[in-house]
Amino acid sequence: MAQPADAILVAGALIVREGLILLGRRAPHKRICPDTWDLIGGHVEAGETLAQALVRELAEEIDIRPTRFSEIAEIDFSQEAGRLVLYHMFRVDGFEGAPRLANPEHVALHWFTWAAALALPDLASDRYRPLIAAEAAREQGDE
């Protein structure tokens, strides 16, 4: 699907392992959503595909390389951002490496149960909740 030329694109990862999801605690100095639990990801750079941005961001931020992933949603954050911002969310079900803090974007990483992630009062965006709930339901249906 073609994106508008003026859109800011973001690739985000819902990283899943053994029924848990990985979230990063954004650093308190971050301008957007400081000190909140967030999905890992970032802006798509010029000339990159969404998938290339996802792979690059996961390597830069938490030192892993996704091996199995698929796009599961697009969330329009234009209203919050005041400009056209589209978050492309990927579910990552396989990766190489061990997640670790690899730059100052986040101050902590934690594996959460689906229910615990949904209950977080300081999730970076309430717009993530329906996505997490849908993936939790899908995961429970697979068992």
| CA angle, residues 44, 125, 55, in degrees to nearest 5 | 30
pLDDT at 2: 61
Question: Among 3.40.50.1000, 1.10.599.10, 3.40.50.300, 3.90.79.10, what is the CATH number of 8-142?
Answer: 3.90.79.10
Q: What's the CA gap between 61 and 82, in Å, rounded?
A: 26
Kindly list the domain boundaries of the chain, sorted by start residue: 8-142
60-96: pLDDT as tens digits: 999 999 999 999 999 998 887 788 999 999 999 999 9
85-126: pLDDT as tens digits: 999 999 999 999 999 999 999 999 999 999 999 999 999 999
User: Could you count the other beta carbons within 10 Å of the beta carbon of residue 14?
Assistant: 23
pTM of the model: 0.91
User: Could you count the other beta carbons within 10 Å of the beta carbon of residue 133?
Assistant: 14
16-71: pLDDT as tens digits: 999 999 999 999 888 778 899 999 999 999 999 999 999 999 999 999 999 999 99
